[in-house]
Amino acid sequence: MILALFLALTLSSFAAYEPLEYFRDVPPEMERLHRSDIEFLYGLRASKQSEIHRKFFGGPDGRAYEDFLRARVRFIGISDCGNPNSAACAEGIFADSTIWLTKSYMKPSLPQVLRAQIMLHERMHLDLRIEHEDCPADYPLASKIFGPLAKFPSCDKDENGSFGPGVAMLYQVARNCTNCSEKVKADALYYADEYLKHIYQEEARARVSAF
């Protein structure tokens, strides 16, 4: 009896997730790109991690990212997200289990590691059910992507907003990925450093970027 229960629990822990479902209006080329990004995300490998990465994901690599993402995300849809510059969002109808991609998600200028990070970022929005806040008016940092961030309407106070896990994942890829190319690592580090600036509390930035 005890052995049977142990085996049942053990086998259930290895059960595969149901495949992500794509709404019928998602263009085939977008679905193919997204499936490729998800395969890339789940396939990342590492053997060590920072404390903040462990806090967010538990494990050091793509197997933990899969658990983190699939704990909430079931559907992928297409939307304009009310912002032509957004690549994705997690709001509106089916906001408890759906990430919406926009046409901007398919921009050739977006490297794959950044698109993969976007999935983790939006998954946090599903949990938090809140949007970002404005950076303080006297915030001194500037982004190479967006320019001065003072009053910028897409910031978080600390690592517990949506930027925290995604930035931690990018630093993990840049520093500890064992099956990534140097190009992927360089892309990850560039975007980690830039999106870290969207966390405006200095102590929180130090925690997220720590080795």
The answer to which of 82-86, 97-101, 103-107, 203-207 has the lowest mean pLDDT is 82-86
Residue 46 structure tokens: 């590492």
Query: In this predicted structure, what is the pLDDT of residue 6?
Result: 32
Give the pLDDT score at 92. 61
Q: How far apart are CA 91 and CA 163, in angstroms?
A: 16
Q: Does 10 map to a domain?
A: no
Domain membership of residue 12 (yes or no) is no
Is residue 77 one of the residues assigned to a domain? yes
Q: Which two tokens stand for residue 182?
A: 């140097």
- Three-state DSSP at 21 gives strand
Domain with 65, as residue range(s), is 19-209
Q: Is residue 5 assigned to a domain?
A: no
Q: Is a pLDDT exceeding 60 seen at residue 10?
A: no
**84 in any annotated domain:** yes
Contacts 24+ apart (CB under 8 A), 188-195: 188/113, 191/111, 191/113, 191/114, 191/117, 192/167, 194/143, 194/144, 194/145, 195/163, 195/166, 195/167, 195/170
Render pLDDT for 141-159 as a digit per residue (tens, 0 to 9).
999 999 999 999 999 999 9
| Residue 2, domain member (yes or no) | no
Q: Left if phi > 0, otherwise alpha if psi is -120 to 50, otherwise beta: which for 78?
A: beta
- For residue 132, being part of any structural domain is answered with yes
Structural domain tally of the chain? 1
Side-chain half-sphere exposure of 4, counting CA atoms within 13 A? 1
Residue 117's closest CA among 66, 61, 52, 41? 41
The model's pLDDT over 112-133, given as tens digits with 9 standing for 90+, comes to 999 999 999 999 998 877 789 9
**pLDDT average, residue stretch 10-26:** 72
